[in-house]
Structure 1
Amino acid sequence: MIDLRSDTVTRPTAAMKQAMFDADVGDDVWGEDPTVNRLEAMIADLLGKEAAVFACSGTQSNQIGVRVNCQPGDELLIHSTGHIGVFEGGGPAVLSGVTVRQLNGPKGMLSVDLLKDQPRVDDQHYCRTRLVCLENTTNIAGGYVYSLSQLQDVSEWARRTGLRMHLDGARFFNATVAAGYSPEDVADCFDTISICFSKGLGCPMGSVIVGTAADMRMARRVRKMLGGGLRQSGIVAAAAIYALENHVDRLQVDHDNAQTLARGLAEIDGIKASAEETESNLVFFEIDPSLGTAVQFAAAMKEKGVRVGPMGGQRVRAVTHLDVSADDITTALRAVRDCMACGFSDQQLTGSGPYSK
């Protein structure tokens, strides 16, 4: 089965498994796991920040970031498609007492023009606008990549305005590889940065939040409250170290495969796709409504040995990653052609997950 639903389906390579097996471990809650300590120092140095805290997942590190940057009664500003506001179970409200204000802009991105009139007046009637959350790459908005100047413009405005900045870097290294900027230059625009290891980097789990030493002391406390204080977590930290040393540069392969897929899809009747709009490893395309829905298309593709992600209505997402080869892309395109030729309107109209119809 070729699985293009998400890069979260990646599996550890044999070499990564060996690194995990060989990991030197201790009690991380007590600060005594040498492999976790090495990972945290390594990622903090890479991003030019003072400290980092290992977390269980990207959702956990994002929610730690919200709590570190905000107080109950504050609000954060985020794009309406941002993961923190859409796919984290209402975490800011439940865990931090923080209101999420969602804004609309092209490509899932926030700009100074969009943000400049949003901070609320300092008045007892209003919640305090405190945090701006960006996502790079964007996710369901299309896998787009901010330019460094875009990030710097928003960061400079936020600092002048007295707001803090958090980056949801679920695909942080996809962005740096695609745009060619340094991790440190990106990190300089933010107070806190969340980076996920279990997507394109191929780890079985894990994330990290990065920032100042003071913020990371608070982050460690919040992690404990959220149940994220693991013990001998060097086993999974070793996978992250291996990924940072071996899997970052190869993300370009995933981007190249995404381009091949997007170009191939654009040539198939009944599909609207664009290689020019594919900036990273996320390929979005639309199915002609006369042929059926995205859910029906995904069901038909599964029968042909390829899994894709229906995103509601006619929209489909296909994600290239470590476990997808160039030959797999060829096979997937063949399956798409077969589906479009044979039709799929006889498939069930409902599926499972957040986009089940």
Structure 2
Amino acid sequence: MWIDLRSDTVTRPSPGMRRAMYEAEVGDDVFGEDPTVRRLEERVAELLGKEAALFVPSGVMGNQLAIKVLTRPGDEVLLGRESHIFNYESGAPALISGVQLHPLDDAVGWFSSEALTQALRHGHDWEPRSRLVCLENTHNRAGGVVVPLSVIDTLTTAARRHGLALHLDGARLWHASVALDVPERQLATPFDTVSVCLSKGLGAPVGSVLAASADLIAEARRFRKLLGGGMRQVGILAAAGLYALEHHRPLLAEDHAKARRLAEGIAELPAFEIDLTRVQTNIVRFDVRQGTAEGVLAQLRAEGVLMVPFGPHTIRAVTHRDVSMQDIDRALSVLHRLFGRKAV
């Protein structure tokens, strides 16, 4: 049986979630008549401290709707070079919103307020207008690190001082909340828009939610329809999200504990290099000292352990509700047997 650590998106709906989906009360959401969708949107808005929210098929759509409603064509968006929006959203900001992306160094999981200030345009006619700042929390490519509250305060204060809008890609904001032991709304409050994912960590089969002011969400709803995101009796899926928020969200600390166990076991192996200070949530990122990530992954796959490459010499593993602590110990047993006595 596979031990699948490729992502926390590989989870299957739990029996309780399947029952909730089966029993969901539904209506036509394009007409605003699906009661389960409305309950999900109201619940997420409440958790994030926003006026309103919008259920969308994916986190990419949530991020792109935020960019669309906060910018005009020809504007410039400042964001991290390692961010999800910059690396994994198919160039959508240019196509959908007609904006230019200005990437800043965020290798540690965020960029500095000094870098942000230095990157700002000065309003000349020949320059794009600096309009929006995007932050990601937790930060996927940095290894699931959490953006500290002090950094959020410094960056958002600097952005507001220069009249910029703010969007938070909070796909795994639930994990940041657990790691920092603060409510999600505290992390979301400084931002105009916040997107959160229901299928990463929470275990729903599909869906994300965008939260913002009522006016911004009304505009985002129109663009969701334009992009083909108008859904009908989608309460079946919204019910999964509601169930996940109530039953799966309180268990996220267990995934963090699994990641810590995995990371500490990998740290014992001379074949790999890992910074344990950066294992803060459910993502474990480590480097291969010799050889390639693909070579290591092929050997692990042959033993029933799945991870993904995050570069020529870097591997990512993600813990989630469908892998147990026993699975983690089995994966470590394989790693130690294969790589415990020699460099790769």
Q: Same fold (TM over 0.5)?
A: yes
Q: Does 1:331 align with 2:330?
A: yes
Q: Distance in 2 between matches of 1:218 and 1:64?
A: 9
- Tell me the SS of whatever aligns to 1:139: coil
Q: Does 1:182 align with 2:189?
A: no
Q: Distance in 2 between matches of 1:11 and 1:299?
A: 25
- Tell me the SS of whatever aligns to 2:30: coil
| Structure 1 runs not aligned, ≥5 long | 346-357
Q: Which residue of structure 1 lines up, in the alignment, with residue 314 of structure 2?
A: 315
Q: Which residue of structure 2 lines up, in the alignment, with residue 138 of structure 1?
A: 139
| Structure 2 runs not aligned, ≥5 long | none
Q: Distance in 2 between matches of 1:315 and 1:113?
A: 29
Aligned residues: 343
Amino acid at match of 1:39: L
Is the 8 Å Cα contact of residues 80 and 108 (structure 1) preserved in structure 2? no
Q: Distance in 1 between matches of 2:335 and 2:198?
A: 30
Amino acid at match of 1:75: E
Q: Does 1:26 align with 2:22?
A: no
The CA deviation at 1:117 is 1.6
What's the % identity of the aligned pairs? 47
Is the 8 Å Cα contact of residues 289 and 343 (structure 2) preserved in structure 1? no
Q: Distance in 2 between matches of 1:93 and 1:136?
A: 23
Q: Distance in 2 between matches of 1:287 and 1:31?
A: 51
Q: Distance in 1 between matches of 2:218 and 2:261?
A: 45
Amino acid at match of 1:285: F
Amino acid at match of 1:126: E
Amino acid at match of 2:138: T
- Tell me the SS of whatever aligns to 1:194: strand
Is the 8 Å Cα contact of residues 23 and 238 (structure 1) preserved in structure 2? yes
Q: Which residue of structure 1 lines up, in the alignment, with residue 266 of structure 2?
A: 265
Is the 8 Å Cα contact of residues 82 and 106 (structure 2) preserved in structure 1? no
Is the 8 Å Cα contact of residues 300 and 344 (structure 1) preserved in structure 2? no
Q: Distance in 2 between matches of 1:184 and 1:318?
A: 28
Q: Which residue of structure 2 lines up, in the alignment, with residue 94 of structure 1?
A: 95
Cα deviation digits, residues 146-177 of structure 1 (max 9, x gap) = 11221122112111110000000110100100
Is the 8 Å Cα contact of residues 7 and 320 (structure 1) preserved in structure 2? yes
Q: Distance in 2 between matches of 1:155 and 1:193?
A: 13
Q: Distance in 1 between matches of 2:298 and 2:226?
A: 40
Kindly report which structure 2 residues correspond to 1:1-357, keeping only aligned pairs within 5 A, or say none.
1-289=2-290, 292-340=291-339
The CA deviation at 1:124 is 1.3
Amino acid at match of 1:40: E
Is the 8 Å Cα contact of residues 258 and 319 (structure 2) preserved in structure 1? yes
- Tell me the SS of whatever aligns to 1:108: coil
- Tell me the SS of whatever aligns to 2:102: strand
Is the 8 Å Cα contact of residues 269 and 340 (structure 2) preserved in structure 1? no
The CA deviation at 1:344 is 10
Is the 8 Å Cα contact of residues 263 and 274 (structure 1) preserved in structure 2? no
- Tell me the SS of whatever aligns to 1:208: strand
Cα deviation digits, residues 96-119 of structure 1 (max 9, x gap) = 101111011341202212211211
CA RMSD across the alignment: 1.3
Amino acid at match of 2:244: A
The structure-2 alpha-carbon separation of the partners of 1:57 and 1:4, relative to structure 1 and needing over 3 Å to count, comes to: same
- Tell me the SS of whatever aligns to 1:100: strand
Amino acid at match of 2:155: V
Amino acid at match of 2:130: T
The CA deviation at 1:93 is 0.3
Is the 8 Å Cα contact of residues 192 and 212 (structure 2) preserved in structure 1? yes
Cα deviation digits, residues 184-233 of structure 1 (max 9, x gap) = 11111100000010110000000000000000011101111111111011
- Tell me the SS of whatever aligns to 2:277: coil
Is the 8 Å Cα contact of residues 65 and 166 (structure 1) preserved in structure 2? yes
Q: Distance in 1 between matches of 2:280 and 2:42?
A: 30
- Tell me the SS of whatever aligns to 1:186: helix
Q: Distance in 2 between matches of 1:15 and 1:234?
A: 16
The CA deviation at 1:271 is 1.0
- Tell me the SS of whatever aligns to 2:55: strand
Q: Distance in 1 between matches of 2:149 and 2:182?
A: 7
